[in-house]
C-alpha cells in the first residue's frame, strides 16, 4: 500500500492558540508572552545603558524622555510583565515539583490578584511621585 502523505501542519505557532482553552493554558501563554517581552526589554535596556558611554549630554536627553507620561506608562506595562511572569513563575516552580498541583487554578488566581494590587500601588507611586 503506497505511503500516505500527510498534510503539512503548522506546528510552532500552536502553543499560541488559547481559544477555548482553560486557565492553565492561558497562564502558560501569558508566561511565554511576558517572557519574550522581558527579553526584548532586556536588550532595549542594555542599548539604553550604552548611552552612558556617550557622555552626560546623551544620557541627560534620555532621562528627560524617560520622565514623559507615555514613558511612565510603558514602565507600568513593564512592571506588569515582571509581576505576572515572576508570580506565575512561582506557581510554575511550586507545581513543577508536585506542590499545590491540585490547587493550580486557585494559585493562579491568588497570585494574579497580588500582581494586580501591587501593580495598582506601583502605578500610583510612579505617576504620583
Partner 1 sequence: MSAPRVIVIGAGSTGAATAHDLALRGLRVTVIERGEVASGTTGRNHCLLHSGGRYCITDQESAIECIDENMNLRKIMPDLLELNDGLFVAVTEADLAFKEQFLEGCAACHIPARNIPVKHALEMEPFLNPRTLAAVQVPDGVFEPFRFCLAFLATARLHGAVVRRYNVVSEIVCSGKSVTGVKVKDYRTGKIETLGADLVVNASGPWAGDIAEMAGVKVPVQPTAGVMVTLDCRLNNMVLNRLNKPSDGDIVVPQRATCTIGTTSWKVEDPDLITIPPEHVAKMIDQGEQLLPVVRKIPMRARMAVARPLIVKNAADERNVSRTFECFDHAYDGIDGFVTISGGKTTTARAMAQHVSDMVCNKLGIAAECRTREVPLASYRLFYQGGQR
Partner 2 sequence: MTLLDVTLQIFRYKPGEQPHYDTFTVQVEDTAHVIDAIDKVWAEHDHTLTFRRACHHSSCGSCALRINGVEKLPCIARFSEVWDGHSPLRLDPLRNFPIVSDLVVDVSGFFQRMSASTMTITRDAESTLPLSVDDLAAVVQPKAVELPDNLTRFNRFENCIECGICMSACPTMAVDNKFMGPAGLAAIYRACQKTDDPNEKAHLLALANGEHGVWRCHSAFECTEACPQAVDPAGKIMALRREITANRFKKTRRS
Spatial distance between the Cα atoms of 18 and 16, rounded to a whole number of angstroms: 6
Would you say 34 and 81 are in contact if contact means Cβ atoms under 8 Å apart? yes
CA distances from residue 31 to 19, 69, 80, 126 in whole angstroms, order as listed? 16, 27, 12, 24
- Residue 62 binds which entry of partner 2, partner 1, none, CB below 5-8 Å type-dependent: none
Report the interface residues with partner 1, using CB under 8 A. 1-4
What's the start-to-end Cα distance of the chain, in Å?
75
Of 11 and 57, nearer to partner 2 (C-beta) is 11
- Residue 103 binds which entry of partner 2, partner 1, none, CB below 5-8 Å type-dependent: none
Spatial distance between the Cα atoms of 104 and 107, rounded to a whole number of angstroms: 5
83 exposure class (CB count in 10 Å sphere: 0-12, 13-18, 19+): buried
By CB under 8 A, what part of segment 35-64 binds partner 2?
none
Based on the shown chain and the rule CB under 8 A, indicate whether residue 21 belongs to the binding site for partner 2: yes
Based on the shown chain and the rule CB under 8 A, indicate whether residue 20 belongs to the binding site for partner 2: yes
Grid coordinates belonging to 19: 481559544
Of 2 and 125, nearer to partner 1 (C-beta) is 2
Q: How many residues bind partner 2, per CB under 8 A?
A: 28
Based on the shown chain and the rule CB under 8 A, indicate whether residue 30 belongs to the binding site for partner 2: no
Based on the shown chain and the rule CB under 8 A, indicate whether residue 19 belongs to the binding site for partner 2: yes
Binding site for partner 2 (CB under 8 A): 4-7, 9, 11-12, 14-15, 19-25, 27-28, 31, 91-92, 95-98, 101-102, 104
Amino acid at each position: 500500500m503506497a505511503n500516505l502523505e500527510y498534510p503539512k501542519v503548522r506546528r510552532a505557532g500552536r502553543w499560541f492558540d488559547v481559544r477555548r482553552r482553560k486557565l492553565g493554558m492561558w497562564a502558560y501563554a501569558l508566561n511565554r508572552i511576558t517572557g519574550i517581552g522581558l527579553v526584548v526589554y532586556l536588550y532595549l535596556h542594555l542599548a539604553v545603558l550604552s548611552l552612558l558611554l556617550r557622555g552626560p549630554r546623551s544620557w541627560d536627553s534620555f532621562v528627560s524622555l524617560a520622565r514623559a507620561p507615555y514613558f511612565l506608562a510603558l514602565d507600568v506595562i513593564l512592571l506588569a510583565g515582571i509581576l505576572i511572569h515572576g508570580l506565575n513563575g512561582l506557581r510554575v516552580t511550586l507545581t513543577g515539583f508536585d506542590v499545590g498541583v491540585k490547587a493550580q487554578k486557585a494559585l493562579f488566581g491568588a497570585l494574579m490578584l497580588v500582581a494586580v494590587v501591587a501593580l495598582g500601588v506601583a502605578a500610583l507611586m510612579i505617576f504620583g511621585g
